[in-house]
Every structure is written in C-alpha cells, then in structure tokens.
C-alpha cells in the first residue's frame, strides 16, 4: 500500500501464495492499522492496481474479497487498473519498491523476520516511511468464484472507459 497523502508505505509480508485473499487482507490490515485512524471520515477508498496477478481485473476472488472488505468497513471501494503492460506507471513502483530494494541490497534475506525488518527500515530524504508487518496466515490457491457469486457482488462498472478496469464496489 502506498498512501500518497502521507507519503507512507505499508507492506504485508507473508510466506504463502500471492492470492487475491492475501492482497485484500493486506489492504484490510493497512486500513485497520493506519487508514481508519488517519481518515476517520472516509466513505471511499481508491485503489490503483496492476491489470494482472492476484489483484488483476479478471480475478473474481479479488472482487469477492474486496466486496467483503467494503461491507466490513462501510467504504465504497473504487478500483482503477492500469492497462496491461503499464504497471510501472504505478507510484508504488517508483515511490516504494525501488527504495525497499535499495535498502536491502546485499543483505542476506535469511528469514521472514529479516525481510520485515529491512522493509520497515526503509526511509528516504523526501520523508517516505515504510511500515511492514509479518502475516503468518495461510491463503489457499485455486479458490473458485461462480458466475452467480460474481453477479451477486455490488459492483458498479464505470461506463466511460474500459469498465472492466474501472469499477466501484459498494457497501450494499
């Protein structure tokens, strides 16, 4: 997670599969630890995401777990996916991961705790601060979401441009 307003990053570090459930749990943990306190009057959350991977626009489980998060938090969650092949436009790549990689360069990543500590020690001269936490939960792969389950989700596609990439998940 990269909070543009506060110039802060949050990394949820696990040793299980990178699933949609893990991706949404990372958002949940950020919201519970930082977001809710920093933005107490928020009614909406905007997420920019790559077009592929665990948070891809075609991933049904991503949308299902986001819908559960929206219902749990009361937030309307708007997702805008970067077009295929353009994920490097995402600020998280330039503002966070480049500095995290520089910070742990040459350090042996021997265990999860070391990784978390190296990520959490990342700061920049411009004030970026990264927080990290270990996630020991297990997130199974291969979870299937039926057509009916997908249709039942409170998703409003944005009709102006690529509605499959841009949508809002409501709380109703």
Q: What is the pLDDT of residue 162?
A: 87
Q: Tell me the pTM.
A: 0.92
Q: pLDDT for 55-65, tens place per residue?
A: 999 999 999 99
Domain spans of the chain, in order of start: 2-169
Burial category of 96 from C-beta neighbours within 10 Å (exposed 0-12, middle 13-18, buried 19 and up): buried
Residue 61 contacts residue 27 (beta carbons within 8 Å):
no
Question: What is the distance between the alpha carbons of residues 123 and 7, in angstroms, rounded to a whole number?
Answer: 10
Question: What's the mean per-residue pLDDT of the chain?
Answer: 92
Q: What is the pLDDT of residue 108?
A: 85
- Which regions in the chain score pLDDT beneath 50? none
| Residue/partner pairs of 152-157 with CB below 8 Å, 24 or more apart | 153/63, 153/64, 153/67, 154/67, 154/70, 155/63, 155/67
Pinpoint the alpha helices (H) of 74-160.
91-92, 98-104, 112-120, 147-151
Q: What is the pLDDT of residue 63?
A: 97
Q: pLDDT for 81-115, tens place per residue?
A: 988 877 677 777 778 888 998 888 888 888 999 99
Q: What is the pLDDT of residue 4?
A: 87
From its phi and psi, is residue 22 left (phi > 0), alpha (psi between -120 and 50) or beta? alpha
Of 140, 53, 131, nearest in space to 96 by CA? 131
Q: What is the pLDDT of residue 57?
A: 92
**Which residues, 6+ apart, have CB-to-CB distance to 161 below 8 Å?**
none
Quick count: other Cβ atoms within 10 Å of Cβ 124? 15
């Amino acid at each position: 997670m990269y909070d543009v307003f506060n110039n802060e990053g949050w990394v949820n570090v696990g040793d299980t599969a990178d699933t949609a459930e893990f991706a949404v749990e990372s958002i949940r943990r950020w919201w519970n630890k930082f977001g809710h306190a920093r933005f107490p009057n928020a009614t909406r959350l905007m997420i920019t995401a790559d077009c592929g991977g665990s948070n891809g626009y075609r991933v049904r489980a991503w949308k299902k777990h986001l819908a559960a998060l929206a219902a749990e938090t009361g937030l309307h969650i708007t997702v805008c996916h970067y077009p295929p092949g353009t994920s490097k436009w995402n600020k998280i790549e330039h503002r966070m991961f480049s500095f995290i990689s520089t910070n742990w360069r040459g350090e042996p990543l021997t265990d999860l705790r070391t990784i978390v500590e190296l990520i959490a020690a990342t700061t920049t001269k411009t004030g970026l601060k990264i927080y990290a936490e270990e996630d020991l939960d297990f997130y199974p792969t291969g979870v299937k979401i039926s057509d009916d389950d997908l249709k039942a989700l409170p998703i409003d596609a944005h009709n102006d441009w690529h509605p499959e990439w841009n949508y809002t998940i409501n709380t109703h």
